[in-house]
Structure 1
Amino acid sequence: MKKMILIVAAIIFAAGCHNVNDWEYDSIPPMPPRNINTITGDNRVDIYWQRNKEPDLAGYNVYFSYSYDGTYELIGTTYDNYFVDYGARNGVTYYYAVTAFDYNNNESELSYDVVYDTPRPEGFDRALFDLHVSPSNSGYDFSDYSVVPYDGEGADFFFEKYEGIYYLNVWEDTDIQDMGPTYDIYDVSFAPTDGWVPINDGENIKYVEAIPGHTYVIWTWDNRYAKVRISAIAGDRMIFDWAYQTVEGNRQLKINRKSIDRKNLSLQRKGR
């Protein structure tokens, strides 16, 4: 019932915005939308797709499921080629599909792309201080979203200025890797599988040079992944943005384009 109400409302809206002579009655549905992409956010998922070309296109319906071959539920209707799922919860994986419908209430099949996302918390413009100047404000705990002492039990990484050079440090049970210069925190989509900084003999920390504009991925001691982008360093203070995947072992930090053609898969979705 909810789906029918949304579609009828969409048709009324579209008819009011277009000349009724611009389209004629038919029973042919639009093609399923293509190139579905998502952007991982904090308790939200942004969904984008390629705009359909049919002249009688009226809008799109967006669906979600908790599994690829599960039942897909309608979550919204839009007249643009994007939609924001504000109901997504951090730590939960969602599969998305989009349909297109025309003025005659002909709805396409679900889109063929395999699209999934797992929202995770993020934060911006946090500050840490050099551990030699302010040790109680030099570490960060992703699980608690808080600044902590560098040697505190919850410190996932900490900031240090040593002999004029800035460093990001992690303890020996954690891994870190410099992903290089990035435009913003969203540029790194997945945690890598290798390339982690090795520990030096006789030391109990691993470290990389802290460079403004670079993003670093951290593999925490409890098998979770996070990323940190340094936006500025001034004196003994570092400003950074961060994102943290709360699902253990999930390398997904942000989906940029993760889609596979469903036509090549044997799985069939159940009814929507």
Structure 2
Amino acid sequence: MDAALIDRERTAERLLAASAKHSFDPDTELDWEAPFEEGKWFWPPELVSLYDTPLWHRMPLEQQIELSRHEVASLCSIGVWFETILMQLLLRHTYDQEPTSAHVAYALTEIADECRHSKMFARAVTKMGTPTYRPSRLDHTLGRAMKTVSTTPGSFTGTLLAEEILDWMQRLTFPDERVQPFIAGVARIHVVEESRHIRYAREELRRQMRTAPRWEIALTRLSGGQAARVIARALISPQVYASVGLDPAEAVAAARNSPHRREVLRQSAKRLMDFFDEVGMFHGPAERLWRASGLLG
């Protein structure tokens, strides 16, 4: 076994050990029967898409909090969509791998984590009493195409895009005492378990970007830029605005033109964009796609 494969196995063994010690069952870890607390946010207000816009300042506090509830429901609903794609990408990755390896064992462990997360997100949407916010028909179709044709480095690029942006936001959420304790609990579980997934994906993508053929790396750069655009725009469904009594077109424009919102998205992706730059993701014509996503500073 060469040095790269030995290193990959050691990483997987460490992640398997961490999984054995720090994994959660949301069905028993969270208090699903506890009522939501009056006056508490469902998401830190600074992370709500309309925060500090003129439209935000015209909204009463109750409507702002209600928007935070629907935006978290959108993130949970879209999270199920993301996780479904990621599970399929991981299974495709394991198809040609040695089934007795620690690398494959950890991939299967991660899939089990993602199954629990998807159930947790879906149940949280039900508890919040909101609609299930789905991606647009275009984004749903693009997601289907990605999970079907993605290369291995492309799969791990998409995985990191979906996981690290939400991870940054949730790390601000679970210690915030202004936030509903139930939502903080959901965020805490996801952060702890996703930290392992991020480590696994980063190290594998780094290996892939060193060894994949040129055509595959070029395709990964382009497909990754397109995935970044889709993920950035899919996080918050425009329908959340209608649900709280706002004009969706006006609210979408307010969020799109908000300097604060643009900065939140850039900050949420900064650590990841630095990593992508390090492994050579932004070379050539793909850089324009990445910049169009709003995630690259």
Q: What is the TM-score with the length of structure 2 in the denominator?
A: 0.21
Higher strand share: 1
Higher helix share: 2
Compare CA radii of gyration and give the structure with the larger one.
1
Identify the structure with bigger relative contact order (alpha carbons < 8 Å, sequence gap 6+): 2
Q: What is the TM-score with the length of structure 1 in the denominator?
A: 0.22
